Amino acid sequence: MLSGERTVLFKPLYEDNVLSRIPNKHFRLLFFQYTTEQAERRNRRPKLEEHMGQLPNSLINGARRETITHSIAMSILVLNLRKLGRFLAAAIK
C-alpha cells in the first residue's frame, strides 16, 4: 500500500486517538495488525511476481481484475475503520 493510502486510513483513527475517542490500546492494536499484515504482503510480493511471470495472459488479466477488487475492498475498509472509530468514541462517552 502506498504511503498516501496509509495516511488516509490512519489519519482519522490517529486523530480520534489523540482526542481520546479511541483508547490507546485499541489504536495500537489496529496499527500493529495493519503494519504486520503489510510486512507479510511485502515479503510475499517477490514470490508472487515471479509466479505471475510464469502464468498465461488470461490468468494475468484475472489478476488485474483482482487488483481492482482489492482497491474497492480497501475503500470499504477505510469506511469501516471510520465507523469503528465513531462507534468506539460513542461507546466511551
Kindly report the average pLDDT of the chain as a whole number: 76
Dihedral, CA of residue 11, residue 13, residue 14 and residue 18, to nearest 10: 140
- pLDDT tens per residue, range 14-42: 888 888 888 888 888 888 888 888 788 88
Tell me if 9 sits within 8 A of 78, measured CB to CB: yes
Give the mean model confidence (pLDDT) for residues 60-89.
Answer: 75
- Give the residue among 69, 74, 70 at the shortest CA–CA distance from 5: 74
Cβ contacts of residue 27 below 8 Å, gap of 6+? 13, 14, 16, 17
Distance of alpha carbon 14 from the chain centroid: 15
Residue 72 CA to residue 49 CA, distance in Å, equals 22
Residue 49 is predicted with a pLDDT of 72
pTM: 0.44
Residue 76 is predicted with a pLDDT of 80
